[in-house]
Chain A
Amino acid sequence: MVSETPRLEVRDIVKSFPGVKALKGVSLRVMPGEVLSVVGENGAGKSTLMKILAGVQSQDTGTLLVDGKAQKFGSVSDAMSHGIAIIHQELNLADNLEIGANIFLGREPRRFGLINNAQINKDSAKLLKRIGLNVSPKTLVKELTVGQQQMVEIAKALSINARVLIMDEPTSSLSAGESANLFQVIRDLKAAGVSIVYISHRLAEVQDLSDRVTVLRDGENAGELVRGEVTHDSLVRLMVGRDISRFFARNPHSKGKVAIEVKDVVTTAWPKHRLNLSVRAGEIVGVAGLVGAGRTEMLRTLFGVDAPVSGSIEVGGKCVELKSPKDAISAGVALVPEDRKQQGVVLDMMIRQNIGLASLHQHSRLGFLNFGVEQQQSTDMSQRLRVKAPGDFYRVGNLSGGNQQKVVLGKWLAMKPQVLLMDEPTRGIDVGAKQEIYQLMDELAGQGIAILFVSSELEEIIGMSDRVIVMHEGRITGELSREQLSEESIMHLATGH
């Protein structure tokens, strides 16, 4: 191993953006046929480094070597010509086209000047077979599941004979089954000599897959672990730079009255099933299930985004009709949505304006804004939630994911909700900020807020919930008390048993 030339190597890479120095001299080696994981908190510089490796961006200073020779990538196609391909977290597929057309997009084989579809289909079929995706290359991409689409991206990378495949958070939107499938493909590729650079927040995956882990912190190398040394705690210690003794902060709280009661509610997404559940004040209830189990749809219904088809919802003992988020908010229900950047915050507005957005009408006089209250509220919330920013005039789009999530929470706490719905509350948030969000959830429960949260991370569900509801294909398949919680018990229900 030691004598071998790294297939891809970077030395002392520096890269700056407006307002931040993202990389302050990072080095990294990728050996042939290994899985190298790159982990780090959000803002540690992982994405930037990957973009430089893939030619999406170029470094300010530092060298990049392919097979020991210095190279300069001016574009993605430069990187591709050296066999380096990247699969972004947000998939880059034209979903109105067929699988084959996507795989060869921009490199279509031609015959007589026209696209040679026969060739595309033949070659695509071979690639799909290699990664075990059992669908026709003529299928439209939009008809595939997210997991299958990811496979198409991999096929696309293989079609250029990629020797280094960079995967940025590939499992963030996959179900457990799809993830397992992906891991198998990764192992197969590795066996075939392809090097994989794997980026993930999910430390369990990293532990499972990696031959080696490079940890980044604040744009610098924080350390390296080889297989065998990789454990959850060792990773977190390197990422955060300190020990995290109690990751999931739960304190025992006394439970109050039922804050929200859902009776026989039918959602538009899954009209066949009736949903029944209740959450008491001060209780944290987790909702587990695979992607597409109808968890998000349930929260959307409880928040009035999609009005329920039938059934009744009681908040604080009063029956409420939820036809719009406005109704839900005035009933005391708040939602921290899954898609933070689109639904949670207005990226182009200041922290102050975002925090005030849901409650400013309450403090207005004759429709005029009350800047004093807005300021007060924003100062209170920023302190209470420990939002890290130069000031509350800062644009929310410039904040890290964790701080953005705190702004979303601040917006809701400013209107004192009884029920807090949270959809994947820590998605795309770094470990340090995750822990803070957990702490806040615990604090809020202690203040008597009922929390119902959806999560695809089993660790989180098990760590945070007083009680867990498991869903499968639009139906609640079971409920588990804290004592009954285990990955097995949850997955058993989540797969419909």
Chain B
Amino acid sequence: MKGKILGILTVLIVLCTCLAFATSDPWWNLGTSKFLQADNIQNLLNRLSLFGILGIGVAFVIITSGIDLSIGSAVCLCGVLLSILLKVDYKPVESPVVLQVTAAEQTVLLDGVFDTLRPGTTVRYTGGVGSGVIMTVDSVSVAGQQTTVKVQEKLQRNEQDGRLAIAAPIQKLESGDESVVTVPADAEIQVGDQFQLVKADGAVTTQRVTAVTTEGEESRATLAKNPGEKYGSDAFAILLKRHQRTSIPMAIAIVLVVGVLLGFVHGVLVTRVKLQPFVVTLCALLIYRGFSRWLTDDNPAGFGELQQVLGPVASGRVGLAYRGDEMVFGIPIPFFLLTGIGILAAVFLNRTVMGRYLLALGRSEEAARFSGINTSRVTLVAYMICTALAALGGMLFALDNTSVSPSSFGNSYELYAIAAAVLGGCSLRGGEGSIFGVIIGTAVMQVLNNMIMMLKIPQTLEQPVIGTVILIGVLGDELVRRAAAKRRVRQTAG
């Protein structure tokens, strides 16, 4: 085992050294090496970290002599889920549903009762053909759970659906270095909300609120941008409250829980129902991929304004070297995550009872069971760790990428993770594996990938190159093992 890791570590070092010289011009001047440039190393460390997290996860399953083929799809699903959970939209505080617009009587029949509708209130009707019509309330009458609003304007036609947005009257709109809208305080504006400014002629602009001060009856909301001269105080302001589906910690927690649950289902099917891991996770691969596409209508899912908040977790760096104020080199934040997870995983595997059970049952499930080990439960835990790390990886990959295309995101990541684990000394027969080895294996895969870009090898050859190198690695390992066995025989014989 130690020999294996030493072997792959040597391969990594040789590969890096060769690449460093090969990308220098002249070859001996490493200062010119494109491979050693800060950007490249940072990028490499970032990718190593993300793939390493997946690799550690799958290593646990491989140690039980199982396999998880669903990782790539699970990465995609979790990325999509994070995007969906963090979806932000802006809605009017109250936006009554319109049941009936009667043009002849100039009335609008609404579902529900609304305090904010008073004579003189400005409303904007959206829906039907007459979208974006500005109206002023003349009188309001309530009957049961329905409200009839008579408006001052003449209406063009009858409608059967749509919504009303209730506008706050703008008391003042100052434009200057910064634009400030003053509206009645009962609007309860918060930073992050938006104002839709509407002119009587139908022109609309939407602005984010960056600061709010309330004095007595008035709230002053500072807008992100100057809306321009034409939106004077004759315009109306419709407050769009910012609405984020879930808070960031909640969203992350939900995705992680979903990850753990996916593994739980895999594990139950493998240990209780006794289905083959290959089949279970192959089906899971198809299901998660398809489900991700369905959830998003096959459209890319992003993080909008939250990208700026969350993005640094996946692509940020902690500076090590600066030139003036400019960061010359920094360690990617995911690398710290990988280190932390790696240490935890190694301690779990080598220092805890559960880890020992895992290794024992991977080598001989029956002997472990006959020693009183609840092998089903331990295997279940391995599958849960695997998908939980896939969920974490999925979120990081999605944030690093800024958006998720559900049909391709994470494609064949499971194979990269499995290959890295195998390169790093995990045996698919089970019972063998080292966390450090997996990280080194991942590094080899990423350096290879980097090499293909650096040496301008056609991108189409990436997979054959990686496949060949893994094959050579495994072959070399086998040959070394046999040679060692032969040497031992000769020593014994001599």
Decide if B354 touches A360 in the complex (CB within 8 Å): no
Tell me which of B367, B374, B489, B490 contacts A346 (CB under 8 A): B367
Mark the stretch among A35-43, A361-369, A446-454 that contacts chain B. A361-369
A357 adjacent to chain B (CB < 8 Å): yes
B243 adjacent to chain A (CB < 8 Å): no
Q: Which partner residue on chain A sits nearest B369 by CB separation?
A: A325
Mark the stretch among B247-255, B318-326, B357-365 that contacts chain A. B357-365
A112 adjacent to chain B (CB < 8 Å): no
B488 adjacent to chain A (CB < 8 Å): yes
Interchain CA distance A81-B432 in the complex, whole Å:
42
Of residues 108 through 122 on chain B, the ones whose CB sits less than 8 Å from some CB of chain A are none
Interchain CA distance A60-B353 in the complex, whole Å:
45
A141 adjacent to chain B (CB < 8 Å): no
Decide if B353 touches A325 in the complex (CB within 8 Å): no
| Further 7 A-B residue pairs, CB within 8 A, beyond A343-B370, A367-B352 | A21-B492, A21-B493, A60-B493, A346-B360, A346-B364, A369-B352, A369-B355
Decide if A368 touches B372 in the complex (CB within 8 Å): no
Tell me which of A335, A347, A357, A361 contacts B368 (CB under 8 A): A357
A-B contact pairs, 18 of them (CB 8 A): A14-B493, A16-B492, A17-B489, A17-B492, A19-B492, A21-B492, A303-B370, A328-B372, A335-B370, A346-B431, A347-B363, A347-B364, A348-B364, A353-B356, A360-B353, A361-B353, A364-B353, A411-B371
Q: Which residues of A contact B364 (CB under 8 A)?
A: 342-343, 345-348
A349 adjacent to chain B (CB < 8 Å): yes
Interchain CA distance A193-B20 in the complex, whole Å:
74
Instruction: Take A17-B492, A19-B488 as given contacts and tell me if A343 and B372 are in contact as well, using a CB distance cutoff of 8 Å.
Output: no
Interchain CA distance A337-B360 in the complex, whole Å:
17
Q: Which partner residue on chain A sits nearest B364 by CB separation?
A: A346
Q: Count of B residues near A, CB < 8 Å?
A: 27
Decide if B372 touches A329 in the complex (CB within 8 Å): yes
Interface residues as binary, B465-494 with A (CB distance below 8 Å gives 1, 0 otherwise)? 000000000000000000001001110110
Of residues 285 through 339 on chain B, the ones whose CB sits less than 8 Å from some CB of chain A are none
Interchain CA distance A345-B374 in the complex, whole Å:
16
Decide if B372 touches A369 in the complex (CB within 8 Å): no
Q: Which partner residue on chain A sits nearest B354 by CB separation?
A: A367
Tell me which of A326, A339, A356 contacts B372 (CB under 8 A): A326
Decide if A343 touches B353 in the complex (CB within 8 Å): no
Could you tell me the distance in whole angstroms from the C-beta of A427 to the nearest C-beta in chain B? Answer: 16
Q: Which residues of A contact B140 (CB under 8 A)?
A: none
Decide if A349 touches B371 in the complex (CB within 8 Å): no
Interchain CA distance A209-B188 in the complex, whole Å:
103
Could you tell me the distance in whole angstroms from the C-beta of B273 to the nearest C-beta in chain A? Answer: 17
Interface of chain B, helix or strand or loop or mixed? helix
Interchain CA distance A339-B359 in the complex, whole Å:
20
Count A-B contacts at CB 8 Å.
Answer: 91
A305 adjacent to chain B (CB < 8 Å): yes
Q: Which residues of B contact A324 (CB under 8 A)?
A: 369, 372, 374
Q: Which partner residue on chain B sits nearest A20 by CB separation?
A: B492
Interchain CA distance A218-B372 in the complex, whole Å:
37
- List the 4 closest A-B pairs by CB distance, nearest first: A18-B488, A329-B372, A16-B493, A358-B371
Q: Which partner residue on chain A sits nearest B376 by CB separation?
A: A324
Instruction: Take A19-B488, A357-B360, A358-B372 as given contacts and tell me if A369 and B367 are in contact as well, using a CB distance cutoff of 8 Å.
Output: no
Residues of B within 8 A of A (CB): 351-356, 359-360, 363-364, 366-374, 431-432, 485, 488-490, 492-493
Could you tell me the distance in whole angstroms from the C-beta of A158 to the nearest C-beta in chain B? Answer: 36
Q: Which residues of A contact B352 (CB under 8 A)?
A: 364, 367-369
Could you tell me the distance in whole angstroms from the C-beta of B480 to the nearest C-beta in chain A? Answer: 14
Q: Which residues of A contact B493 (CB under 8 A)?
A: 14, 16, 21, 60
Decide if A369 touches B356 in the complex (CB within 8 Å): yes
Instruction: Take A18-B492, A21-B493 as given contacts and tell me if A369 and B373 are in contact as well, using a CB distance cutoff of 8 Å.
Output: no
Tell me which of B351, B366, B489 contacts A343 (CB under 8 A): B366
Interchain CA distance A239-B355 in the complex, whole Å:
43
Decide if A357 touches B492 in the complex (CB within 8 Å): no
Decide if B366 touches A342 in the complex (CB within 8 Å): yes
Interchain CA distance A364-B355 in the complex, whole Å:
12
A344 adjacent to chain B (CB < 8 Å): yes
Interchain CA distance A478-B355 in the complex, whole Å:
46
Q: Which residues of B contact A345 (CB under 8 A)?
A: 364, 367
Interchain CA distance A326-B359 in the complex, whole Å:
18
Q: Which partner residue on chain B sits nearest A16 by CB separation?
A: B493
Could you tell me the distance in whole angstroms from the C-beta of A26 to the nearest C-beta in chain B? Answer: 15
Could you tell me the distance in whole angstroms from the C-beta of B349 to the nearest C-beta in chain A? Answer: 11
Q: Which partner residue on chain B sits nearest A411 by CB separation?
A: B371
Q: Count of A residues near B, CB < 8 Å?
A: 38
Could you tell me the distance in whole angstroms from the C-beta of A367 to the nearest C-beta in chain B? Answer: 5
Decide if A16 touches B351 in the complex (CB within 8 Å): no
Of residues 194 through 231 on chain A, the ones whose CB sits less than 8 Å from some CB of chain B are none
Q: Which partner residue on chain B sits nearest A361 by CB separation?
A: B353
**Most-contacted residue by chain A among B353, B354, B367, B368 (CB, 10 A):** B367
Q: Which residues of A contact B355 (CB under 8 A)?
A: 369
Decide if B356 touches A337 in the complex (CB within 8 Å): no
Could you tell me the distance in whole angstroms from the C-beta of A401 to the nearest C-beta in chain B? Answer: 15
Q: Which residues of A contact B373 (CB under 8 A)?
A: 326, 357
Q: Which residues of A contact B488 (CB under 8 A)?
A: 18-19
Interchain CA distance A14-B136 in the complex, whole Å:
108
Decide if A368 touches B366 in the complex (CB within 8 Å): no
Interchain CA distance A349-B362 in the complex, whole Å:
11
Tell me which of A326, A330, A349, A368 contacts B353 (CB under 8 A): A368
Q: Which partner residue on chain B sits nearest A374 by CB separation?
A: B356
Could you tell me the distance in whole angstroms from the C-beta of A356 to the nearest C-beta in chain B? Answer: 8
Tell me which of A21, A303, A348, A364 contacts B363 (CB under 8 A): A348
Q: Which residues of B contact A356 (CB under 8 A)?
A: 356
Decide if A349 touches B359 in the complex (CB within 8 Å): yes
Interchain CA distance A353-B364 in the complex, whole Å:
13
Decide if A348 touches B431 in the complex (CB within 8 Å): yes
Q: Which residues of B contact A342 (CB under 8 A)?
A: 364, 366-367
Of residues 396 through 423 on chain A, the ones whose CB sits less than 8 Å from some CB of chain B are 411
Q: Which residues of B contact A360 (CB under 8 A)?
A: 353, 356
Decide if A369 touches B351 in the complex (CB within 8 Å): yes
Q: Which residues of A contact B367 (CB under 8 A)?
A: 342-346, 357
Could you tell me the distance in whole angstroms from the C-beta of A339 to the nearest C-beta in chain B? Answer: 8
Q: Which residues of B contact A357 (CB under 8 A)?
A: 356, 360, 367-368, 371, 373
Q: Which partner residue on chain B sits nearest A371 by CB separation?
A: B351
Instruction: Take A326-B374, A328-B372, A343-B370 as given contacts and tell me if A18 and B489 are in contact as well, using a CB distance cutoff of 8 Å.
Output: yes
Q: Which residues of A contact B353 (CB under 8 A)?
A: 360-361, 364, 367-369
**Most-contacted residue by chain A among B432, B490, B492 (CB, 10 A):** B492
Could you tell me the distance in whole angstroms from the C-beta of B247 to the nearest C-beta in chain A? Answer: 32
Q: Which partner residue on chain B sits nearest A362 by CB separation?
A: B353
Could you tell me the distance in whole angstroms from the C-beta of B385 to the nearest C-beta in chain A? Answer: 14
Interface residues as binary, A8-24 with B (CB distance below 8 Å gives 1, 0 otherwise)? 00000010111111000
Interchain CA distance A453-B185 in the complex, whole Å:
88
Could you tell me the distance in whole angstroms from the C-beta of B438 to the nearest C-beta in chain A? Answer: 19
Could you tell me the distance in whole angstroms from the C-beta of A211 to the nearest C-beta in chain B? Answer: 34
Interchain CA distance A236-B305 in the complex, whole Å:
85
Q: Which residues of B contact A353 (CB under 8 A)?
A: 356, 360
Q: Which residues of B contact A347 (CB under 8 A)?
A: 363-364
Could you tell me the distance in whole angstroms from the C-beta of B463 to the nearest C-beta in chain A? Answer: 33
Q: Which residues of B contact A364 (CB under 8 A)?
A: 352-353
Q: Which partner residue on chain B sits nearest A18 by CB separation?
A: B488
Could you tell me the distance in whole angstroms from the C-beta of B430 to the nearest C-beta in chain A? Answer: 10
Q: Which partner residue on chain A sits nearest B492 by CB separation?
A: A16
Could you tell me the distance in whole angstroms from the C-beta of B245 to the nearest C-beta in chain A? Answer: 36
Q: Which residues of A contact B359 (CB under 8 A)?
A: 349
Interchain CA distance A344-B371 in the complex, whole Å:
8
Interchain CA distance A411-B367 in the complex, whole Å:
12
Q: Which residues of B contact A305 (CB under 8 A)?
A: 369-370
Interchain CA distance A19-B484 in the complex, whole Å:
11
Could you tell me the distance in whole angstroms from the C-beta of B114 to the nearest C-beta in chain A? Answer: 58
Could you tell me the distance in whole angstroms from the C-beta of B169 to the nearest C-beta in chain A? Answer: 64
